[in-house]
Structure 1
């Protein structure tokens, strides 16, 4: 057979290229700590793809290109130098991807409440830098926390956006997969003439703490039950409700609904339905658990016949809401309580307070030794100074991703967890790894707001202590002064009903203009 008779090879169709980038943190502007680049634990290159196993289902459909993603424990404002370093690396890595050909889609993996020194809308700034590299034709789909913020400017830069539908957040991976699935569907199944989805955006003048908007109870449960109903409407791709982030003081902090899809009337109707439902329920939102002062919560936990274990949320310094985790106020109150002075008294576990020097002393002394150490209030001493205690070293553990090293000090009948770096305690193994048995304790005090699922299932009794700190549940006393007013609950008498009609946000390759 001659060469001319050999059939020409048929080129395989080009798969759409989908890049992945993002930085995620929940940032309290009322917390004095600062967040550096290392706190994001950045993941680079194709490790970004590997960290999300659900992406394997799309590997034959799109060409996935990881750049850099980072997820930090909530905390204080991000240092500008840290942000510039991480954002610059994202831009550099995307530039290398673009050098091989166009980027068709991008999964923007963010939280939505990142505050950077000198920036009021950090996610929009980051996406603007990304858009400058990938160009206006790239379809961008974001996955977000429902405690994030969506400004008109961010909605303008995005094509698709979705957020969690549960609080506590039991649907993180589901939300991320939905964002990618929506992106792939738009890239691969658009009908002729379908260019970009329509986005309907409604700002709602309400700002509530997560502990007042938990989807475990109504009205948030009923509100979020409407989200999949709206999403199921003909012509709708996704529906989402953001509660917003309550512990930052920025003009963008408020509730928002966004509905995306191909049918303008459907997305408008869906966004307005959800916004009205949120607004109409504003007075009905209450705390997810019984509340009280810290003293009242301890009294309830110690009352005769109180169920065991009895959990108390030391909510004002919750590190997973943005608290410094460095405050000693709660532990100081516990150690001063007469019920816990005797080693044979009611067992109370307290988690936790950072104290690198205290940890070093306990590690050097070893389990079983008696030591006197000082911990906490290294940066957050507004309500209490460092706490000094003498006790027996109960446990030592090295290698934790967040804490680095943990020790447990028994002081009377209190088992105080001290850490080299701050850490949230959300899982049973966080305690059992330290030779603690929370199920057998009388009282467990955790720096947390609503209890995460494992703790919630374990707790026989629970109260939310309204303690001071950078994520104080009493928003009015925190001192917001930059949020847009009027805003519930800061304002309860509005001069006129809020404008809850949907604004159609133009695609990023068209000017934003004035939304009406």
Structure 2
């Protein structure tokens, strides 16, 4: 059996001023694509086409999307006859001037490969799954953990299911349910209830005779398209069982809707700082959640940094890491100095100035670093107890290794303030205290403050439902 691998992987906030261009994507083509996967079944011939992956951000520039799309289509035409497509995507990509980018991409792919090729798609549970997309993909599946510690397992499951169906000669039945819920990931983490039990129940559903896969997409709340909603899809050999199981999971999700709450203790920035300074243990973590690059934030919103610098005397005697602001021009200036020099530089809000303007950072140059594949050159400026990280390009400081790589020992910090939502595993493991600061920005946790106007209403939590919506499964095959 011959199986092609292709995809574009990015999560895009409609509210970010950032636009994803070529530099944002890591691109593999041809046989190099296969290096991403260590689980490919040798019983199949795997054909790398193109895979482009970016950290989350704003919408993709249309010309960049069109180029990658064309390269995928050309690669598939040149690959010869194939039996299957492994479509490795995120599910929440937005493109300038377009709705349902993944739906557009798979529709164009179908025009090349035809209707008989089986398509399997491993996805993020924060994807937005349109009916158009679901009808074009026979074997979609998504993560069952948030944070996504099962990403590799999900990708392997998608490949295994595809090979199994190709070997059997059968085609799966699949049932799709649109659930009118739109919630941020920080309220739907599987570390806490009700998501923990809801996603934990999927393995039991999957074990039913006639079921191959059961998946719940909680959706991506910071896009603003008609496809933004939660989705349930169940696939398998029995149409009756997959339809009943999909409706059952949709009802469970709907019944739990009011129970979803923040995964960590929320608070204002000032409340977070007060808690951190009062903590008797270290390090204390503060999430600057409104500009989290890991969820689509622009990465250069200065709202938090303005406030930290304005009250820097509060941090006297403390070691505080602040990650981060990107500004190529500011880094160029800083690299004209030596470590230990007194410096003053304007930084941030070059891309996203809607919340607050550029900030003046005046202090001592603490460190200069280069070679980071994402951040490029990096400077650290010490302002009293604050260690402010300024990068050349966008970077999410979501792991302890991101700090230690530039000489900042996370264990030595009293407070770590970083642009993140829920804490990724290594930061979660070291945190002795934590506040999810409800800060403004492109991925604001206050969805009503953002002003969605293109989603299909009614939608929880924006609207009151006088009765339970129709959660009957639609059979797609």
Shared fold, TM over 0.5 = yes
In 1, distance between residues paired with 2:374 and 2:462? 35
Alignment of 1:129-208 (within 5 A): 129-190=108-169, 194=170, 196-208=171-183
In 2, distance between residues paired with 1:416 and 1:83? 34
1:497 matched to which residue of 2? 468
2:356 matched to which residue of 1? 384
Q: CA deviation at 1:53?
A: 1.6
In 2, distance between residues paired with 1:206 and 1:255? 5
In 1, distance between residues paired with 2:92 and 2:455? 14
1:470 matched to which residue of 2? 442
Q: CA deviation at 1:307?
A: 2.7
SS across alignment from 2:416: strand
In 2, distance between residues paired with 1:419 and 1:472? 23
Q: CA deviation at 1:407?
A: 1.1
In 1, distance between residues paired with 2:280 and 2:269? 16
SS across alignment from 1:64: strand
Is residue 326–residue 380 contact of structure 1 (8 Å, CA) maintained in 2?
yes
Tell me which of 202, 205, 217 is aligned to 1:242. Answer: 217
2:290 matched to which residue of 1? 316
* Structure 1, 348-357 or 34-43: larger mean CA deviation: 34-43
1:103 matched to which residue of 2? 82
Q: CA deviation at 1:104?
A: 0.2
SS across alignment from 2:90: coil
In 1, distance between residues paired with 2:280 and 2:236? 51
Alignment of 1:22-37 (within 5 A): 22-37=7-22
Q: TM-score, normalised by structure 1?
A: 0.91
Tell me which of 32, 45, 58 is aligned to 1:63. Answer: 45
Q: CA deviation at 1:405?
A: 1.1
In 1, distance between residues paired with 2:10 and 2:329? 27
In 2, distance between residues paired with 1:301 and 1:310? 6
1:17 matched to which residue of 2? 2
In 2, distance between residues paired with 1:64 and 1:379? 40
Deviations 1:157-177 (A, max 9, x none): 011010000000001111011
Q: CA deviation at 1:306?
A: 3.7
Is residue 312–residue 383 contact of structure 2 (8 Å, CA) maintained in 1?
no
Tell me which of 450, 457, 461 is aligned to 2:433. Answer: 461
Q: CA deviation at 1:109?
A: 0.4
In 2, distance between residues paired with 1:117 and 1:379? 16
SS across alignment from 2:162: helix
SS across alignment from 1:236: coil
2:38 matched to which residue of 1? 53
1:434 matched to which residue of 2? 406
Tell me which of 243, 247, 252 is aligned to 1:272. Answer: 247
In 2, distance between residues paired with 1:403 and 1:442? 24
Q: Does 1:336 align with 2:310?
A: yes
Gaps of 5+ in 1: 1-15, 507-516
Give the ranges of 4+ consecutive aligned residues of structure 1 lying more than 2 Å apart after TM superposition: 338-342
1:12 matched to which residue of 2? none
Deviations 1:254-285 (A, max 9, x none): 00000000101111121112111110000000
1:281 matched to which residue of 2? 256
2:422 matched to which residue of 1? 450
2:378 matched to which residue of 1? 406
SS across alignment from 2:379: strand
Is residue 312–residue 385 contact of structure 2 (8 Å, CA) maintained in 1?
no
Deviations 1:89-112 (A, max 9, x none): 0111111102xxx11000000000
1:374 matched to which residue of 2? 346
Q: CA deviation at 1:495?
A: 3.5
Q: TM-score, normalised by structure 2?
A: 0.98
1:512 matched to which residue of 2? none
Is residue 236–residue 261 contact of structure 1 (8 Å, CA) maintained in 2?
yes
Tell me which of 347, 350, 364 is aligned to 2:322. Answer: 350
In 2, distance between residues paired with 1:92 and 1:338? 55
Gaps of 5+ in 2: none
Q: CA deviation at 1:403?
A: 0.5
Q: CA deviation at 1:362?
A: 1.9
In 2, distance between residues paired with 1:469 and 1:427? 21
Is residue 204–residue 255 contact of structure 1 (8 Å, CA) maintained in 2?
yes
Is residue 341–residue 411 contact of structure 1 (8 Å, CA) maintained in 2?
no
Is residue 340–residue 412 contact of structure 1 (8 Å, CA) maintained in 2?
no
Q: CA deviation at 1:141?
A: 0.4
